[in-house]
Amino acid sequence: MELKSLAERQPALAPAATLQIDLIESVRRVQGRLTTPWIESTTETLGARLSSGTPLLEFGQIPFDWNDVRLLIRQITDVLRRHEVIDATAANALHAVGRSATLPDVMRAWFEFEPSDDVEMLGEVLGWAARPYLQRTAEVLQQRISLAGWTRRTCPMCAAEPEFSVITMSGERQLVCGRCHVRWPFDPIACPFCGNDDRTRIKSMATPDGMYRVMICSPCGRYIKALDTRKATRPLLPYADVIATLPLDAAVMQSMG
């Protein structure tokens, strides 16, 4: 809904918003068929993992339905092809991965950040295909244990980097995982990619309405966008906010020359 109205309000964002809508719809069809994963670990075990800095989610716990994952890879590839994000050669390579007998190994390698075959957009496609399963498992784990004590740079569930952040009403910051969309607290100043916390070396920009901010880190050259809930009229919508803030990405690129 938000993406549809965004496309109407800001026609320049319409192509990205409609692509995002098509991707979400592919994923939503399998979401209704998901089974609830059975997590054997006790709350004590989960707590001990977190305090030792080990993310909670293990590949073997994620209840992938490989037939549905294959279907998702095919549909997501077709969406990207239809929107001309990839060419026919790349689409064929992605389809081949989806049909391959080794798909579970390819998915595990992706989940564990191991470099794999150089197929264009493979990480993105696997990310979309895995997300419903990752999210469901993360939801179940979150009902068992609080993430409030985890203040590291990567996701307490799946170890991925943040892709977005939220500034809360009290001015604290939460990072949002790029893979499973889980949120966790993080220093409001420091760079979540390199840890730099020298505020003279972090540049901040905001949209005119103040709803979105971006913090750009000089030492590592990376940046993270944020929804400032003190200025926003709604909570974070991860799928919509990454698209709504594309003009901010463009502004960052420009400022970096």
Figure out which of the listed residues 126, 177, 224, 248 binds Zn ion, where binding follows CB under 5 A: 177
Binding status of residue 191 toward Zn ion by CB under 5 A: yes
Q: Select the span of 37-45, 150-158, 226-234, 247-255 touching Zn ion (CB under 5 A).
A: 150-158
Closest CB 39 distance from Zn ion, rounded Å: 15
Q: Select the span of 31-39, 69-77, 102-110, 181-189 touching Zn ion (CB under 5 A).
A: 181-189
Nearer to Zn ion, 73 or 217 (CB): 217
Nearer to Zn ion, 117 or 249 (CB): 249
Query: DSSP letters of the chain?
Result: -HHHHHHHH-GGGHHHHHHHHHHHHHHHHHHTTPPPP-----HHHHHHHHHTT--S--GGGS---HHHHHHHHHHHHHHHHHTTSS-HHHHHHHHHHHH-TTHHHHHHHHHTT------TTHHHHHHHHHHHHHHHHHHHHHTT---TT--SSS-TTT-PPEEEEEE-TTS-EEEEETTT--EEEE-SSS-TTT----GGGEEEEE-TTSSEEEEEETTT--EEEEEETTT-SS---HHHHHHHTHHHHHHHHHHH-
> Which residues in the 152-171 window bind Zn ion by CB under 5 A?
155, 157-158, 160
Binding status of residue 193 toward Zn ion by CB under 5 A: yes
Closest CB 216 distance from Zn ion, rounded Å: 9
Note the residues at the interface with Zn ion (CB under 5 A): 155, 157-158, 160, 177, 179-180, 182, 191, 193-194, 196, 217, 220
